[in-house]
C-alpha cells in the first residue's frame, strides 16, 4: 500500500508551508507540502481551493474546479 500525505494527522515540518500558513493562504491544519502550496501561489492559484484533500481533516476552503 502506498502512503499518501493526506493519511497523516498533520503535515511534515516545512518552512514554505509555515510561511503560507502565516500569510493566510492555507489553514494551519493544511496537509500539503510547502512546495506544492508555493507553486500554486506562484501560478496565481489558490492552493487550498485547488486541493483535492479531505476537508474534514484539513478544514480547508471548499474545492473549486480550475
Within-domain flag for 47:
yes
pLDDT of 1 above 90 = no
Q: What is the pLDDT of residues 6-57, one digit of tens each?
A: 777 888 778 999 999 999 999 999 998 899 999 999 999 999 888 888 888 8
Q: Total structural domains in the chain?
A: 1
Within-domain flag for 31:
no
Within-domain flag for 1:
no
Within-domain flag for 34:
no
pLDDT of 66 above 80 = no
Domain of 66, in residue numbers: 40-66
Within-domain flag for 6:
no
Q: Between 9 and 2, whose confidence is greater?
A: 9
Within-domain flag for 9:
no
Q: What nine digits make up the cell of 60?
A: 480547508
Within-domain flag for 35:
no
CA distances from 6 to 30, 33, 42, 44, 60 (A): 9, 10, 23, 23, 13
pTM > 0.85: yes or no: no
Amino acid at each position: 500500500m502506498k502512503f499518501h500525505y493526506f493519511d497523516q494527522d498533520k503535515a511534515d515540518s516545512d518552512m514554505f508551508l509555515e510561511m503560507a500558513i502565516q500569510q493566510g493562504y492555507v489553514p494551519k491544519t493544511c496537509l500539503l507540502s510547502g512546495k506544492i502550496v508555493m507553486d500554486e501561489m506562484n501560478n496565481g492559484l489558490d492552493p487550498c481551493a485547488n486541493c483535492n484533500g479531505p476537508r474534514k481533516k484539513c478544514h480547508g476552503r471548499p474545492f473549486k474546479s480550475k
